[in-house]
Structure 1
Amino acid sequence: MTTYRQPGLVLTDHRFPVPLDHARPDRERIEVFGREVVAAGRAGADREGLPWLVYLEGGPGFGARRFIGPQAWLGRAVEEFRVLLLDQRGTGRSTPANRQTLPLRGTPAEQAAYLAHFRADSIVRDCELIRRRLTGGAPWTVLGQSFGGFCATHYLSAAPEGLERVVVTGGLPSLHASADEVYRAAAPRILRKNEAHFTRYPQDAERTRAILTHLLEHEVTLPGGGTLTPEAFQSLGILLGSGDGTHQLHLLLEGAFVPTPGGPRLADAFLEQIQAQLSFAGHPLYAVLHEAIYAQGRGPTDWAAERVRAEHPEFDARAALDEGRTPFFTGESVHPWHFTTDPALAPLRETAELLAARADWAPLYDPERLAANEVPVAAAVYHDDMYVDTAHSLETARAVRGLRTWVTDEFEHDGLRAGGPRVLDRLLALSRDEL
């Protein structure tokens, strides 16, 4: 363990050995990294009396958010908890899983078999091993953001005895929906977010048409070696799911072109910003396992988002331009072409194809156990969340005994970050029946 200080906080870094396959605990082990955070004023003997809160980041494939001091919700959490910021297996400083390390596993089939152990079920079993080590067996509080909420819902299904309470922000999953059903439910929301963006920034419609026309006529390479195809550019629509995303997208588009001796070209600065938004180098598991988080033994996911995209002519750039329409941006989805346009994903293309074809994923949720739930649970459900369907979330909320919801249109999907301490404070109060 390594302990150090930041303004207002004392941090201790932990590494936990866990089985790769929890069904075979005597075989291969990997490491999971966690950062313990305590308020500076409670870092002495007082810390031993603090209850634990473990934070599960959104994703899949993202390490826990890095804070400097008691920022955002963390300042509220350390008022009463020892917080563990957990890098879920394969992410952050946990044993990495990416284009550089996965070839050590062997063939693409062996890589796919390895990554099959990186879903919510394995993450929760990691949490249970870590909890017993840190708390001496006492239950802890789980805060799950987005995909972290999916993990928390599985936790309620699989190991409720480890939970003091659960707080979920933008992450109540459907207990039953397939990947196709998830993306079909998302499509109308993505279209609405596009319409709202072009209503707010009508000048962006012409800019979007000009950029896509250029990309259809020219091959454009990003600074990191990736290819900026029209589809890749349209995937910038993922920004529209956050509170300030429409403004970020507008600021990005306004600097797209510069004059050159050969005519207008996409600006180097624009391409550098595009690279930062589109590269999966820092979170490849987000792409490789994205549809697998919805798979529950009902056949393969088989690139569900690509099928649903084809059902909506608003996303067909060439057809829209030919008809004088503005092509729309897509949302939070992963497609086969991501594994050709992004150098961080290209070596994993065959592995991703094998995972997309896998049909024997285990179910993640136990409706009967959730219906008998006794753990206090509170969830923020964002009214028109682009990433997680509101109707699916509310259906699940009704299926989990005792779960209390806060349905709000004050925030987008990133409400936990954007809302500072207020979101966590309200949800903790709801879970304690103080509101």
Structure 2
Amino acid sequence: MPTHRHPGTLISDHTFRVPLDHADPTGEQIEVYAREVVAAGAQRESLPWLLFLQGGPGGRSPRPVGRDEWLDRALDDYRVLLLDQRGTGRSTPVDRHTLPLRGDAAAQARYLAYFRADSIVRDCELIRREFLGNAGQWSLLGQSYGGFCTLTYLSYAPQGVREAFVTGGLAGLRRTPEAVYRAAYPRVQRKVEAHYTRYPQDADTVRTVVRRLREQEVRLPGGGVLTAEAFQTLGMLLGTGNGSHTLHYLLEESTLPGVPFADAFLAQVERHLSFTGRPLYAVLHESIYGQRSVSPHGTRWAAQSVRAEFPRFDVDRALAENLPVLLTGEMIYPWMFATDPALAPLAEAADLLAEREDWPDLYDPGQLARNEVPVAAAIYHDDMYVDTGDSLDTARSVRGLRTWVTDEYEHDGLRVSGGRVLDRLIRLVRGEL
């Protein structure tokens, strides 16, 4: 078990062999990696474990340097385990190089079906039993999609959970993919309009950029195609605390005299849009809403099909009617698998996943209504990524769950609050507030 020191922390590496399909424990095995972090000087103390479930899907765990971000607060009370969820980071990888080795598109899709929250929770349970024994319990901290995983954990393996903290991640328990996106587009429009109010000049810059993209093909440094619709997805930035400012600074470098687009601008755009480092995010994004009892028809590229109901997001209409061009948010579209070289080899498998009709249910509303695990959740007042109304409905459906609704932070509050968000949730669970 390799161990090394950072300022104020001791870090140990752990690798686990887990079944690809937990229903077949003697079948194919994959690796799952986790990083243990403990405060310097506390390594021999009997501290409770806190398992961190990262956002995504397809997001690797944080790579901390010392007691940074929320870890500073967590390490006061816990031994922390940062999990690279299956398919991410140092766990057995899933990308354009490895997935085609599985065989044809149908074989690839079957493989990818084992990378949702239900399998992640079963991995966690195997790891918990190895660390703590069958009767041991640990605490959970779920950020965004990690909160979705936490709800799955509380649904199917609550016996392993001592307490749970959720930040920006209370999913709608019975929401179809179409309903998720029907609620999302208006939220995104509000964020974009707020950005144009803050930076009025950016509306003209965006119009200039998308008009040029309609007139000529533009390639990103890595070979991807920058279409007008791809450029719109930069609206994803607007769901974080400093995202509006990040977008503004990017836009102000979009042109140079004598060239259509500055190289530095295209490099920044590619950094935000490419899925090279997180292909599972694109491939599985709509699958995280698939539940046979809720959406028996599958997900079927719900963000794309619902988009037609919101014509204000149409680029050509905006240009023709001299309207501000609206950007989009956390939506995955099938055309991304043609414009992004990291996704192109995965396109057929992604289509098959979109058509799949038998996704197992991820949540058990009955079990959640009987929940006995102490749970506290931070709900961000106008979260662009997770609908506040859905989160409040779910909070009312989980017995004993305590909420903190705040407009002080955006979706990334856990990361940027210097531990204040986590501290508030810990105090809520302990009955101190």
Return the TM-score normalized by structure 1.
0.98
Q: Does 1:6 align with 2:3?
A: no
Compute the displacement of 1:154 (Å).
Answer: 0.5
Matched, 1:87 2:79: no
* Whole-angstrom distance in 2 between the partners of 1:117 and 1:377: 27
Quote the residue 1:105 is aligned against.
Answer: 102
The one-letter code of the counterpart of 1:23 is A
Q: Which of 311, 324, 328 is the equivalent residue of 1:330?
A: 328
Write the letter of the residue equivalent to 2:99.
L
SS at 2:70 equivalent:
helix
Deviations 1:142-186 (A, max 9, x none): 000000000000000000000000000000000000110000011
Deviations 1:28-80 (A, max 9, x none): 0100000000001212x22xx11100000000001001111100100111111
CA drift at 1:187: 1.2
User: What's the counterpart of residue 279 of structure 2?
Assistant: 284
Q: Deviations over 1:70-119 (max 9, x none)?
A: 00100111111110000000001000011010111111100000000000
Aligned to 1:38: 38
Asked if the contact 1:61–1:90 (Cα under 8 Å) also holds between the matched residues in 2, the reply is yes
- Residue 200 of structure 2 corresponds to which residue in structure 1? 202
User: Equivalent residues in 2 for 1:229-308 (5 A)?
Assistant: 229-260=227-258, 264-297=259-292, 298=295, 299-308=297-306
Aligned-partner residue type, residue 25 of structure 1? P
Aligned to 1:66: 63
- Partner residue in 1 for 2:180: 182
Deviations 1:197-249, CA, capped at 9 Å, x for gaps: 00000000110000000000010000010000000000000000001000000
Deviation at 1:313, TM superposition (A): 1.6
Q: Is the CA contact 1:313–1:320 (under 8 Å) kept in the aligned structure 2?
A: no
- Is residue 52–residue 135 contact of structure 1 (8 Å, CA) maintained in 2? no
Aligned to 2:13, the other structure's residue is in SS state strand
Shift of the alpha carbon at 1:136?
Answer: 2.4
Counterpart mapping for 1:22-37 below 5 A: 22-37=22-37
CA deviation after TM superposition for structure 1 residue 265, in Å: 1.0
Match of 2:423 among 406, 422, 425: 425
- Does residue 401 (structure 1) correspond to residue 396 (structure 2)? The answer is no
Unaligned runs of 5+ in 1: none
Find the residue that maps to 1:359 and give its secondary structure.
coil
Q: Does 1:165 align with 2:163?
A: yes
Match of 1:50 among 47, 51, 55: 47
1:340-397 residue CA offsets vs partner (Å, 9 max, x unmatched): 0100000000000000000000111111110000000000000000000000000000
Aligned residue in 1 for 2:126: 129
1:53 is aligned with what amino acid? L
Verify the 8 A CA contact 1:64 1:87 in the aligned structure 2. yes
Residue 266 of structure 1 aligns to a residue in which SS?
coil
Contact 1:383–1:407 under 8 Å retained in 2: yes
Report the CA distance between 1:434 and its aligned residue: 1.2
Aligned counterpart in structure 1 of residue 215 of structure 2, from 209, 214, 217: 217
Return the offset for 1:418.
Answer: 1.1
Tell me, what secondary structure is at the counterpart of 1:235?
Answer: helix
Q: In the alignment, which residue of structure 2 is the partner of 1:18?
A: 18
After TM superposition, where is structure 1 displaced by more than 4 Å over at least 4 residues in a row?
Answer: none
Identity %: 62
Gaps of 5+ in 2: none
Task: Give me the CA root mean square deviation.
Answer: 0.7
Aligned residues: 429
Please give the alpha-carbon distance, in whole angstroms, between the structure 2 residues aligned to 1:27 and 1:97.
Answer: 19
The SS at the match of 1:220 is: coil
Q: CA deviation at 1:309?
A: 1.6
Give, as a single letter, the amino acid of the residue that structure 2 aligns with 1:119.
R
Q: What SS does the aligned partner of 1:265 have?
A: coil
Secondary structure of the residue aligned to 1:72 is coil
CA distance in 2, matches of 1:319, 1:67: 45
- Indicate the SS of the match to 1:280: coil
Q: Which residue of 2 aligns with 1:153?
A: 151
Does the 8 Å CA contact 1:320/1:327 hold for their aligned counterparts? yes
Letter in 1 for 2:129: R
